[in-house]
Amino acid sequence: MSDERIDYVNENITLVQNKNGLTFGTDAYLLYAYLRKMSKGMVADLGAGTGIISLLAAAKGKFSQIYAFEIQESFASLIERNVSENGFSDKIKIVCTPVQNIESDLFGRFDCVFSNPPYMKKGSGFLNANSEKYIARHEVCGDIKDFCEAASKLLKYSGSFYVVWRPDRLSDLFDAMRTSKIEPKRMTVVYPDAKSRPSLVLVEGKRGAASGLYFTKPLIMHPDASAKPLAYTDDLTYIYENGEFGEEYERA
């Protein structure tokens, strides 16, 4: 189709993407790499988009069973195609529904939930001409409180929640997590380079855990974010080569 493109990305994934929608980026890959590997259990991807994080996790063998929840029918259809194309139909189940309407029979069954949710407030920023992209970027169909509440309902007690988020809205994330009884336990702040302000935060929380947040060392992605060609730091190179963060980013 003329509005689609096919990319070949990490872990030998063939990814069909909509040119007018959100495409695979650094935030999605870093969240995938931040996920700890589990030998068994069920996990959920809230706001799955093209399904790229679920696909990468399945290819790496991080999880055995993934539920990919996506509100937009066009994206849910895209996930189904990507899952089938990459041979993961037995590992990834697609559910087209708002996070607020997830069936209650799934509550309390998941060991892990992860999300790259819409991170801009409704009405803020540039209004995308394409509504699919606007919905994916902005809190139109659900805000961070809705995503955290859904995660809490799905998680078993002490289950893990992973999210990638904007530094300038970190207080909104922590408020939503604690309101939903998910306690922030590990955080990594991501910088384009050592001279720049942070561009992302990665947070791991636990449902029902006691307070106590572990800050890892920061992730600095480039020696110089303005340089051409763009070079990677050793830490980012390791992440891209291994699909995981190094030991120094684990909890002490």
pLDDT in tens, 55-78: 999 999 999 999 999 999 989 999
What angle is formed at CA 20 by the lines to CA 16 and CA 24, rounded to 5 degrees? 50
More confident residue, 20 or 72: 72
More confident residue, 236 or 131: 236
pLDDT of amino acid 140: 54
Question: Once rounded to an integer, what is the mean pLDDT over residues 148-168?
Answer: 97
Contacts with 211 (C-beta within 8 Å, 6 or more apart), sequence order? 183
Beta strands in the chain, from DSSP E residues, in sequence order: 4-9, 13-18, 42-46, 65-70, 92-96, 110-115, 155-165, 182-191, 200-207, 214-215, 219-220
Place of tokens 């300038």: 168
Question: Once rounded to an integer, what is the mean pLDDT over residues 79-99?
Answer: 95
Mean per-residue pLDDT over the chain, rounded:
89
Question: Once rounded to an integer, what is the mean pLDDT over residues 76-105?
Answer: 95
pLDDT of amino acid 200: 97
pLDDT of amino acid 22: 58
- Asked if residue 132 has pLDDT above 70, the reply is no
What angle is formed at CA 18 by the lines to CA 92 and CA 245, rounded to 5 degrees? 55
pLDDT of amino acid 73: 92
**Residue 141: pLDDT band by 50, 70, 90 thresholds?**
low
pLDDT in tens, 3-14: 777 877 887 888
pLDDT of amino acid 138: 44
What single letter denotes the amino acid at residue 175?
Answer: D
pLDDT of amino acid 11: 79
Q: What are phi and psi of 133, to 5 degrees?
A: -70, -40
pLDDT of amino acid 32: 96
pLDDT of amino acid 17: 77
pLDDT in tens, 183-242: 999 999 999 999 999 999 999 999 999 999 999 999 999 999 999 999 999 999 999 999
d(CA 48, CA 116): 8
Question: Once rounded to an integer, what is the mean pLDDT over residues 144-160?
Answer: 97
- Asked if residue 169 has pLDDT above 70, the reply is yes
Q: Which residue(s) pair with 9 in the sheet?
A: 13
Lowest pLDDT segment from 102-116, 127-141, 165-179, 211-225: 127-141
Question: Once rounded to an integer, what is the mean pLDDT over residues 70-93?
Answer: 94
The whole model's pTM is what? 0.89
Question: Once rounded to an integer, what is the mean pLDDT over residues 103-128?
Answer: 82
